[in-house]
Amino acid sequence: MLCLTLTGSTLEEDRALVVKNRKWISLAELRLDYLNPEEQEEAAVFPNMVDIPVILTLRRVSDGGRCTLGEKQRLQLLYNTAKGDFAYVDIEEDIKKCDLKFKESGTEIKVDLESSLRMRNIKIIRSYHDFEKVPADIYGHISKLAAKGDIPKIAVTPKSMIDVISLFRVQQELQGIKDKIIIGMGDFGIPTRILYKKCGSMLTFCTDSSEKVPAPGQLSAQTMSELYRSDKLDDRTHIYGIIGNPVYHTSSPLIHNPGFLAIHYNAVYVPFLVDSVRAFFKLAEMLQIHGFSVTVPHKRDVQPYLGRITREVKQIGACNTVTRIQNMWKGTNTDYYGFLAPIAEEVSKGTIHSALVIGAGGASRAVIWALHNHGVKVTVINRSLDHAKSIASETMSSYDSLENCSRYSGKVDLVVQTTSVGMTPNDTEDPVPALRFLGNELVYELIYHPRETVFLKRAIAAGCTVVQGRDMLMEQGKLQFEAFTGYHYPHWIHPEL
């Protein structure tokens, strides 16, 4: 189930959010602490305003919420609102037996909040939040939460791939607890939200695309349902992904997931923020991941874990695609052919004799080798002259300092920009402002966000033919898709990268 967290300030706003997201969600969480005070008094009617089950939550500031009431007042408001037709009420783990006092006909009576909810068959979600870490005793913590027969919910903050493994192990360690909610918050936790069923979680939370994110790492309902199809994944779903650090800027899920759907292939492609390649390979075995893309800074680090590598990986020294074959991992490099594809005609005609490659990082290696292997004379320029010299010596190329870029104005047939300078959010920067374009160069940039950088706009204004980074991204993605599935990428799919 995908549960939409409602953060409107009025009940009508929340109802509108449900209507807007209805086709993607199975239930909603009414965040009472986001409502205006006068709206809170009327919130008991909300379940009758929508056509899906509703979770009632009144979250304290210390647990990531907005409620600043005293504890007795908060629980009193929760009790009063819970008189509505709610399917679940969320109560924090540290709330013990709570007797609330009322006066009816002049007589003071006591009511226990939890007992009153159970008497009305409202299911209690017993929640625990940790915005700093994943507790060492997480499995015992979940068991303790479930001891009363309530639904345990943990929302914790993984800070490493090892922590992520701990969350995915919940299903294996606590199979006896059928209904539970497992949430990994923050960037490391995003895969646990997408693959929530692999954690043994009965649901995961999502937000409206236009609303403020109420919890770190929450994705929109539309993204969760349409791009990742999280609510439709099952035990037979093949898992693929991309690893990197950073990684969430990637557009690769926009290529692969629509491709899987188009060929009716039961698979999902998930981004993983990875701090330790070794730990990720452990997770890959646990989840039986079938293949993954590799981006900065792990293109070299994955190689010791591979049973086979292709000629391009050996030559370039970088791997961007890993697939599982015959109980081992195979490494390939689709950047090499993906880079060449948009300029294949010029290369085959022999019209590119010389090239200036800006940058000497991991992305440039495939570019330089691809050009070198097709007889193009390459000069590498880089801010660090030592790095430029190192990669030039490996590839039998020339090298120079970035500050000397003006020397090459109008002197080469092809200019390739491989650095991240000019990428969103730093899209006002230009890696080589002193390099002038005469209009007869072919200019190629690997950045794909934004579509046209300052660098590329200068080339277009000068009359140059340009190749955008999205072209290479799409071409190398198609090759990865074939490596993953054994099928050609569906020609009728045109992702909005």
Residue 107 has pLDDT above 80, yes or no: no
Residues making up the annotated binding site for shikimate are: 250-252, 295, 320, 335, 448, 476
Residue 118: inside a domain: yes
On whether both 25 and 41 belong to a single domain, the answer is yes
Residue 101 has pLDDT above 90, yes or no: no
Residue 396 has pLDDT above 80, yes or no: yes
On whether both 332 and 352 belong to a single domain, the answer is no
On whether both 173 and 52 belong to a single domain, the answer is yes
Out of 187, 212, 233, a domain closes at: 233
Give residue for tokens 């995915």.
168
On whether both 464 and 480 belong to a single domain, the answer is no
Contact by Cβ (8 Å): 245, 272: no
On whether both 134 and 94 belong to a single domain, the answer is yes
pLDDT in tens, 465-478: 999 999 999 999 99
Residue 495: inside a domain: no
Q: How many CA atoms lie within 13 A of 159 on its CB side?
A: 7
Out of 167, 201, 233, a domain closes at: 233
Would you state the pLDDT for residue 122?
92
Residue 104 has pLDDT above 60, yes or no: no
What's the total number of domains in the chain? 3
On whether both 116 and 162 belong to a single domain, the answer is yes
Residue 22 lies in domain: 2-233
CATH number of the domain that residue 77 is part of: 3.20.20.70
Average pLDDT for residues 25-45, to the nearest whole number? 96
Q: Which of 90-104, 127-141, 189-203, 354-368 has the lowest mean pLDDT?
A: 90-104
On whether both 294 and 228 belong to a single domain, the answer is no
Average pLDDT for residues 348-363, to the nearest whole number? 92
The 10 Å CB-count burial string (b at 16+, else e) for 263-298 is: eebebbbbbbbbeebebbbebbeebebbbbbbbeeb
Average pLDDT for residues 443-450, to the nearest whole number? 93
On whether both 214 and 135 belong to a single domain, the answer is yes
Residue 165: inside a domain: yes
Would you state the pLDDT for residue 209?
83
pLDDT > 70 fraction of the chain, expressed in percent and rounded: 96
On whether both 314 and 431 belong to a single domain, the answer is no
Residue 282 has pLDDT above 70, yes or no: yes
On whether both 170 and 27 belong to a single domain, the answer is yes
CATH number of the domain that residue 295 is part of: 3.40.50.10860
Cα distance between residue 12 and residue 379, in whole Å? 62
On whether both 355 and 275 belong to a single domain, the answer is no
pTM: 0.91
Residue 493: inside a domain: no
On whether both 6 and 113 belong to a single domain, the answer is yes
Average pLDDT, the chain: 93
Catalytically active residues, by annotation: 299
Would you state the pLDDT for residue 343?
96
Residue 108 has pLDDT above 70, yes or no: no
Residue 338 has pLDDT above 90, yes or no: yes
Residue 450: inside a domain: yes
